[in-house]
Structures are given as structure tokens and as C-alpha cells.
Structure 1
């Protein structure tokens, strides 16, 4: 009996000891939990700050705080992006950057253009040095996925071409067998050239240059027999050559080159802003709205026009923009036809036909989704 009684006593003592330890542990965990919620640790604060920095809309917030849009552009391509005699950036691509500034600040000059080479452009975008890349950049699968970028609407449908001297007697790609052909590094032209000449069974020597200025200089000096880039670029640079009429752009196209603005992945709000500002430029031409007559449309009873101009609806606020963002863009910068003609078309030295870059109603490829 004595042994059994002692055994029971030990069991009871052990039970109460375990219970006490359990209750103490629960109390400690609750206290710790309470302390953490009331006083965040430095690690928690750092996590919250990082999360905040990556929130959707951070690019727009940074642009608004800075007071300007930083645009990655070209400084060597007349008609698209170059520095004029007054030292200002000018061109087709530059105007699309100005359209963003007009939409956000009601001021098309609220931009800073960072001139970038073909090699530098994607790194500058990925690292946040620029807000948007608008620099004759081709939309491809690799760039749209592997590089972490999102392409906006195509603003210029182009194709890769080839320039030669008329004196060379070259009239087709087959005539370039054994030729030295210049290309700019970091562009799609290298792969397109290799693909097309491999398909045709043509042997050639590729000569690579860091930028278009050095490439064109080598071509004019006769260091290379031909040079290749987008046809629009060939037309642009031909006008700057010492003897423009002494050169020929072959009729064959080596590729499809859809060009347009590009942003970093991960900020849907900024991506939407770039898309719909671009679409506004295209839509305005379809609606017949120009920088000159836009105020006449403010009394329109057409619901499509009223939504587009921000008279009705909240389309702008859905993206963090003023509802009259499209009005601002067209009033300050113009519709697609105005931008094209001013820089590349009938009002420019290039007088470049629009071709595919015509509104869909006129048989072209330019098409905007509805503003509703």
C-alpha cells in the first residue's frame, strides 16, 4: 500500500509540473506576439518599406514627385530622335515621350531625354535609370519575356532594309555575296541578317559597330560595302549623307520590325498609362480630332468623343491620371497624323509614305481599342 501511494503521488506531481510548464509557455508566446504587433522589429520595418517600394503605381508616384518623365531615347536618328540646331531633342519618338508628360503634367516639356545606345537601352530600363524606353526598339519574344519588359502599342511598323551605293551595281540581296556588311551591335539586325543570308545561302562578312554614327561613317568611307538597319532608319540617314542620291535602298525587307514604347514589368498602372496615352494619339486621328480643332469638339454630343476627351466618365482616374488626359495629349502634341507628318511625312525633309502606318479605316495597321 505504501509503495502504491507513493507511485500515485509521483504521477500527480508530474502532471501538475507539466501543466504548469505548458501554461507558462503559452503565456510567453502570447506576450511575445503582443510585443511584436505593438513594436515592429527593424526587420519587419525593412520588409514593409521594400513592399511599399514595389507597390503598383510606384513609377507614376516617382514621376510626379520628380516633376518630369525620364525617357530613354535616341540622339542619332533624324526624324525619330536627334538633337536639333537649338540643342533640343526632336523627333517622332520624342513626341510620344512628350505626350506622356502632357497627360501627367499638362506640359509636354516636362521630360528629360536620356540618349542611349542600342547596347545601353535595356539595362537603363531594367535598373530604373529611365521610366520608359521610346527609341526605335523592336518588339520580340525574347525582349518581351527574358528581359523583363512590356511593350506598349506599336507606333511604327517597319522592316529591315539594306543600303548600297548605286555605283556598286548591287540591286538585290543575292548580289551581296562576299560583301562586307555593317551592322550596329545590340540590335535585332544582327540576327535578321544572319537568318536571311543563311536561308538564301549567301556568304558575307559581318562588321559590327557600337553606334549608328560610326557605322554610317564607315559606310561613307567605303570600309563596308553595305549597311543594314530598319528601312525608316536608312531613309533617315540617307538624307544626311554627303551625296544622298548616290545611294540606294534595296526593295527587299529582311524582317518585320514593330517599334514602340517599352516599360519594366511589374507596374501595371504605369504600363496602362503608356498604352492608353499611345492609343489616344491613334484614336484622335480616327475621330478627326487634331491639336487645331480639338476645342470645337468640347461641345460634341457624341458619347464616344465625350468619354475620350474626359467630358464624361472617369477613364483617366482609373489609371491615376486626370480624366482629360487625352485632351491634354492632343492639344499639346497632336494626333498620329500630325506627329507623323511633322517628323517623317509631308511636312518633313523625308516625305516618307505612311504605308502600314496608316489608320485601319484607310487600310493600315493602326488601331486603338475603344475608350469606354
Structure 2
């Protein structure tokens, strides 16, 4: 009976009820879409960062991370990589030699981090060959080929076929200069990375710096991110004395960025839910004020205060749930469609590349998010209904019936 009365009551003023339902629906749709956009941006950046740059795990000499000196190589023969690749938790792995160097052309001199890589292993681990936009990937084994970021090449005023000179220290602290042939230009979508890293053949670089068959870094891409703790323990057993770090230790700023994305997504929802709460509170207070005489008469003929409280409570829940259902269904439909076609922000391409985000954003939300949202809408409605329900429950039947 109370439920039926509550449902009928919300349609006594159709315009006001429809208005608040639309406000709830539109507010939730906007909030959910904004959250999906933020989540999509963060997931895209995280996936790009893990799959194309740092991988899930890295292995180094204990002092290499802080100092990054040439002599701080692992001392492990690179054929040990085969042992690592035999592990079923490992999807792909590679080793790298890394040195700080100065790069020079006829018009430019600047710093760059030189990475000696195994081209085929690097393909499988980071898919770096997919970033080549001009020229070719490293193809001629053991030669002086070099891949430059297009942003760095533009600064240096060089192109495919140009030669550049790199100067760096060898393992004995001697200065070494070597000429390299630019065979390709790459773009990762992150301008700062493109300006800071250059790739060469590991064999060639190792010969220049005299570290033989060793390496500075091993990077592992796992079949599942949840395997990180177990694989870390196995690597520590396989390579005692070396330092194993997960992605969030390698790049704490990315860890913070992922966490911040989750926080911002929920901040949007909290703002929307606060608006929903105040809208419902205002609507129900107005309804109680307009129906003071009616409520007084119901109390006078025997309806107890608990039922009056429940009546206002159910009316508030009905308003919020109807609007909430439309909002959630609408937002789910919009997010599902946009997640397939994406939102092209190529007009802001330079800005997006500067901060490392793809110019095409695909909104992403998990089903659990919508379930959580429904619960939060109901909780918000319950909280918003308390004051109007108490106000109605405390009315004096005799005085209210006279109004």
C-alpha cells in the first residue's frame, strides 16, 4: 500500500517529477562519461607505457638505477635470457645496454640515452618496430645503424641516411666517439621520450664500451600482471645479487598517475551525487510543504508516523531510481558506442604528445563500476530522504489539517 501510494504521489506533479528524473539521468550520464574518459586515458597510457616502454619487470646491477654508470653492468651473459624465456609466466623478454651520450650533427649537440638492443627480442617485448614512421627498423646485425626519435631528428636537422656522431664513456672511463648511420625515425606518441632515446645494435655498442656479452638491463613482459610477485622471486633466485624491480618501482610517477586517475573519476561522481542529493532534498521538501494538510489528515485518521516516514522515503527512492536507471542505461550505451569509435583529439595532437597520451581516446568502464554506481545512487537517495521524511513525521496532525 505504501509503495503504491508513493508511486502515485510522484506523478501528482508530473512536471516537477520528470524534471528531477531528467536531472538525475543527465547528471549521471555526464558523470559516468567523464569517469570513462579519464579511465580510458589512464588505461591507454598505462598499456602504452608497459607494453612499449618499461615492461612489467626489470633487472639491473644494484647500483645502476641510481648512478647508471657503464661499468655497472650485470656481469651476466646474455644467453641467460633463454632460461628466462622458458618460464611460462614470461610472454617476452629482452636485454639492453644503456649509456649516457652526447649526440652531434652539423647544427646540433645534445644529450641522449643510447640503448643497445637485440632487434628481434625488442620487437617481441616492446613492439618498438611499430613506432618507425620513416626509414627502417634495425636490420643489419652488428652494424652502426641508429634509430632516432623524429622529434630529436627535427632538432638536429637530420633525416634517414644522415650520419651522426655519438660520444660516450667505455667501461674503463675512456671517451669513445663513433659515427652512426640514421636508418629510421620513430614516434612513440610521447615527445619527451622521442627526444631522449636512440636505439642501436647491442653487439656494436657492447664492442664500443668493452663489456663483452653482458648487459645493463633485462626487461620482462609477463603473461599476466598478477604474476609480478612470483616472477620477482624466481628472478632473485636465478640472479642473486642483482636488483629486480616491478613497473611501479621503475616509474613511481606512472603508479601515481594511475591512482590519481581512479581518484579523479570518483571525484566526478561524488560531485554529481552531491548535486543529486541536493536536488532530491529540495524537491521532497517542497512536496512535504505542499502536502502538509494532506499529511496531517492522514495522520489524523490513523496513519502512524513510521508509515509517513516510509512514504516520503519511498517517493525519494522512486524518483532517484527511475532517473538513475535511465542515466545508467544511457551512459552505458554512450560509453559502449564511443569506446568502439573513439574520440579524436588530433586537433590537440602536440599537447597530447607532450604529456604522453594518445590523440584518440577510448572510454573504458568495468561492469562493476555500474553496479557500484547503482548502490551509490540508492545510498544518496536514502540520505537525501531523511530530512524531508523527519520533517513530515514531526508534523502536528491538528495544526496541519487546518492549513
TM range (shorter): under 0.3
TM superposition score normalised by structure 1: 0.21
Higher-RCO chain (CA-CA 8 Å, sequence separation at least 6): 2
